[in-house]
Structure 1
């Protein structure tokens, strides 16, 4: 049986997340090969490209010409604009959350993906962990009356991830997609959602689910903790089902993400974590804000 050729991926973005994750993981292969990098800061793009033997593209269109798939590691507004162009160019998309800075831009990306018929996949990092998948399997077997959850860290207090859009939009748009995605998948489809508080400091989200369960989520990027904390407790008559990322080795998820994206590109069939899922999460966040 012949091994498929590595998917040639172009990377848009050269910030801390691009350096820490996208470039390193995509270049490591064997399922993918990093072929080109473009960023508005040419020197930053060149530094990444030179490290991994890729080309520094002079424009997004030049990057599109040098790859068959595009990975994004840029602010939501930039992703929303360039992802539409990449989809129209026929490129598969590896997309960050949130899909866009607002619902309209997220819908434009999802519509462009659907119209072009290209493969898309969201970088919802926790979904590629074995522990997360085991939790979701256990959740399907549980009768859930209610759920408590949190996603808390102090990245907004300073450092290279305290970037403009995160500080302006806060935890709901940045951390919310991860936790809302897991609650929607574990407890059941969310039918109503509302948020209170200040997303730049602390926000509480209450969800009502299709099966009658109620869940709550606490979100903050502005609290000092020894390490980021993500925890979900599903509670019901049969006992509790707990998910806690303190026991997870996050490095184990990246090869899974890479392999599943490459397999989707080669088969031409996206998985469940595609742009439509990204749009679903953006719709829920928009509803919570209203």
Structure 2
């Protein structure tokens, strides 16, 4: 028998909405939800984790209880308890449930890719637009101060060409070697991060092509609106002591390099949380929204079909 749910503590009604933490429900109870989403959303003060729903009820309870949240018995029940929904599930599950959440008027904190294919990603983006709800992507590195400093410097740097990579060995085994990652490979899992960084640093991608096997190693070549050309190497199946994410910009002024080797990823989460809560409370779309996620997925699909 399920254990009784702990009633959620209602906040005083006289507290201004802009000052109340955003009440977030979390979908998923896997490793990424345990390590990142739940502790980040529960830490506040901008957000409050109020509920968790997962396919396995026991996993949802085990994740919810230490953070003072309840385990919802259904996705519909989770929607009734929150004003925003965060997703930490495979792309196919996210694509289906995010559409339902948007239609229910909930703000969305989304993983990448939005869905397993462009059609499902477009359905999410269109649902967000039609419902007029706020959405935001967990493109982790974009929330780190070091990344933002690099992008500020890149804005004033004339770029002729760029090289980049995102490489690790997580697909070789362990809890992150999940079935959807093994099926789709690095292009859909790592590609959104790297193509997003290249667009932000070099300019919009106008043409993209790819070669290789996304499950082993894939190489992308991008042409950018300003005339620069960039290359991106992606793999989740190479044995490395740690993930290697690097962007090198070259031009008449010299080299500008971004490297995540020394980054503390824990510095990303408070920024992400604060910006998501601000977007929800103001109703102003975040730059890294579902429409941006759709654009990234369309680019990656073009690379795969080239």
Q: Out of 236, 242, 256, which is 1:221 matched to?
A: 236
Q: Is residue 100 of structure 2 the alignment partner of residue 85 of structure 1?
A: yes
Instruction: List alignment gaps of at least 5 residues for structure 2.
Output: 1-14
Q: Out of 151, 168, 174, which is 2:189 matched to?
A: 174
Q: Out of 142, 151, 154, which is 1:139 matched to?
A: 154
Point out 4+ residue stretches in structure 1 off by more than 6 angstroms: none
Name the residue aligned to 2:142.
127
Q: Is residue 174 of structure 2 the alignment partner of residue 159 of structure 1?
A: yes
Q: What aligned pairs does 1:221-240 form with structure 2 within 5 A after superposition?
A: 221-240=236-255
* TM-score relative to the length of structure 2: 0.94
Separation of aligned partners in 1, 2:76 and 2:286 = 27
Structure of larger gyration radius: 2
Separation of aligned partners in 1, 2:194 and 2:166 = 7
* TM-score relative to the length of structure 1: 0.99
Name the residue aligned to 1:195.
210
CA drift of 1:270 comes to: 1.5
Separation of aligned partners in 1, 2:82 and 2:153 = 39
Name the residue aligned to 1:110.
125
Give 3-state SS (helix, strand or coil) of 2:19's partner: coil
Name the residue aligned to 1:242.
257
CA drift of 1:255 comes to: 0.3
Give 3-state SS (helix, strand or coil) of 1:160's partner: coil
CA drift of 1:87 comes to: 0.1
Separation of aligned partners in 2, 1:284 and 1:131 = 26
Question: What is the RMSD computed on CA atoms of the aligned residues?
Answer: 1.0
Separation of aligned partners in 2, 1:233 and 1:225 = 20
Instruction: List alignment gaps of at least 5 residues for structure 1.
Output: none
CA drift of 1:50 comes to: 1.0
What are the Cα deviations for residues 123-168 of structure 1, in whole angstroms up to 9, with x where unaligned?
Answer: 0000000010011111110110000000000000000000000001
Q: Is residue 87 of structure 2 the alignment partner of residue 72 of structure 1?
A: yes
Give 3-state SS (helix, strand or coil) of 1:17's partner: helix
Separation of aligned partners in 2, 1:254 and 1:52 = 16
CA drift of 1:283 comes to: 0.7
Question: What is the aligned residue count?
Answer: 290
What are the Cα deviations for residues 157-211 of structure 1, in whole angstroms up to 9, with x where unaligned?
Answer: 0000000000010000000000000001110100010110000000000000111
Give 3-state SS (helix, strand or coil) of 1:159's partner: coil
Name the residue aligned to 2:200.
185
What are the Cα deviations for residues 85-112 of structure 1, in whole angstroms up to 9, with x where unaligned?
Answer: 0000000000000011000000000000
Separation of aligned partners in 2, 1:178 and 1:48 = 27
Q: Is residue 54 of structure 2 the alignment partner of residue 42 of structure 1?
A: no
